[in-house]
Structure formats: C-alpha cells, structure tokens
Amino acid sequence: MEIIRKLQDMQSRAVDMHQQGKTIAFVPTMGFLHKGHLSLMREGRKRGDILVVSIFVNPAQFGPNEDFDKYPKSFEQDADAAKKEGVDILFNPCKEELYPERYQTYVNVEKLQNYLCGVSRPLHFRGVATVVTKLFNIVKADAAIFGEKDYQQLVVIRQMALDLNLDIEIKGCPIVREPDGVAMSSRNSYLSEKDRKSAVCLYQALNEAKKLVKEGVKKSSEIIMTASALIRSYPGTEIDYISIFDPETLEEIESVEELSRMAMAVRLGETRLIDNILIDPRKKGSRA
C-alpha cells in the first residue's frame, strides 16, 4: 500500500492509473477507522481496479464549538487496517495544502444542507460538499462509497454529483453496528462508560418506531413522541432532533404512507450521536 500526502502526487498517480485503463474507487474518511469504514473499503474493492482511501479531518465541516481539535486520530493503526483490506493508496493530505491562505470557494447544496443535522450544524454540509468535491477532483475517482450512517451526507453528495454533472458513481452502504446495536462511530470513543450504556437508546428508539409503523401507526408525531419518551428514559440523554422524512428530499412527512427514513441526533454529555433507519409501512406483521 502506498501512502501519498501531496495533492500533486495523488493527482499524477490518478492520471497514470486512468492512462493504464484502470478505474478508481474511492472511500473518503476522517480516520480512526472502525468496521463501518472497513465495510466501505470492501465495497470499494469490488467497484474499481484501484482502491483509494483518504484520511483527512476536514476543518471546514466543524463548527466553532465542535470537536475539530480533539477529533480522535490513530494513523499507524489506520494504515495497518487499510493495508489488510487491500487498499492500494492511502491519501493523507494536510489542511494547509487543501485550504491554503486566501481559500474562498465553497459548494452549497442549497436545500438539502439545511434539514436535520443542518439545523444545529449550519455550515457542516457546505464543508462536506466542498471537501468531497476537492477530493473527487484530486483522486479522479470513478466511484465513491459512503455510509448510510451519515444518511443526510449521502443524499447531499448524490445531489451534488447530479447537479454538478460529476462523472462519478455514488454508492451507499448499510450501517455497521456494535453487538448491542449502537452504530459504529469514531466519536463513540468519547463516551464515558455510563453514556456508552445509554447510547443504545438511539437504535432502540428507531426500532420501536419501526415496530409501531408495522403495527399500523402512521402519524409521525405519535411515532416521534414514543421514540422521544424512550430516549428520555435513559440517563444523560438530550435530544437534538428526531425526524421522519422523505428519503430523497429530506422534507418532514406528517404521515408514514410511503417508504420513509427516520433519523435522530442525541447528545450524551459533550458527544453528539446520530443514527437512522428505513421505515417501510408496506411491510406489516413480524417485529424487526
């Protein structure tokens, strides 16, 4: 596995690959890799001749009071894990090269960026869309793989690729969970023992919602009320939002009639966790 740090080196390697007729699959990450990231790499292996993974903690997607400075890092372990997954190139650029002095260009996915997580993180998706565009241009990927864990991010990127005519296939992959159902996340490492126990409430609330829908409950407000009560019954939880929405437009829906998505953000101490689930009102009967 090759480790590349300079933008120009990455760009010229990508040009070489294409000249050799090879396709490039790309998995962007912020590092501190876990099994969720590795599942994207496995998908990437299938979607391109060359698999490029980036590790870059993107300052543009963190708000002023967020965790940019303390975001967990483990480059050596990450490099070992990536190598074991058969990654060809680990791209680890530095922020000075990606955002030099006088940097001033940003990508705004005007509507989608404002819903859900965009309410409490107003510049987050602008930062994500910007860095992903830059990375796509540097890595010259033919396909890019993202996790459904960050569902809004996936929808924002798909829209951006469509709107900007990017010639790149965007592939979403299912959420990888811990044995107790907690969605894997680099940020889980921040949780105290007590908060880690409470973290199961997100997936439990999502499953409770799914169960209600299967039993025939349609009203979003009723489903959200039950989910909120379940979350509040766990110590230390503070709900940021819970929403049931159209999976493409992200607009809230009042009644679950079609395939929908439910997402939430919950704070546990200083840590903000997110999770989401597919809600299918057509599948009635058995429990999840």
> CB of residue 200 vs ligand AMP: minimum separation in angstroms?
14
Residue nearest to ligand AMP (CB): 147
Q: In the complex with ligand AMP, which residue's Cβ is closer, 168 or 212?
A: 168
Q: Name the residue nearer to ligand AMP (CB basis): 127 or 147.
A: 147
**Interface residues with ligand AMP (CB under 6 A)?**
29-30, 36-37, 39-40, 146-147, 149-150, 173, 175-176, 183-186
Residue whose CB is less far from ligand AMP, 30 or 166: 30
| Contact predicate 135/127, CB 8 Å | no
**Shortest approach of ligand AMP to residue 14 CB, angstroms?**
20
Q: Over 155-216, what HEC string results?
A: HHHHHHHHHCCCCCEEEEECCCECCCCCECCHHHHHCCHHHHHHCHHHHHHHHHHHHHHHCC
Which burial class, exposed, middle or buried, applies to 178 when counting CB atoms under 10 A from its CB (0-12, 13-18, 19+)?
A: middle
Active site residues: 37
Q: Which is nearer to ligand AMP, 181 or 281 (CB)?
A: 181
Lookup: tokens for 129: 């869309």
In whole angstroms, how far apart are CA 144 and each of 54, 136, 153? 11, 8, 13
Using CA atoms, how far residue 124 sits from 69, 74, 155, in Å, is: 16, 23, 14
β-bridge pairing 50-55 and 89-91: parallel
Residue with token string 């002023």: 64
Closest contact distance (angstroms) between CB of 213 and ligand AMP is 23
Query: Which residue lies nearer to ligand AMP by CB, 116 or 183?
Result: 183
* DSSP calls for 3-22: EE--HHHHHHHHHHHHHTT-
Environment class of 89 (CB within 10 Å of its CB; exposed 0-12, middle 13-18, buried 19+): buried
Q: Whole-number minimum distance, CB 56 to ligand AMP, in Å?
A: 9
Q: How far is the CB of 154 from ligand AMP (least distance, A)?
A: 7
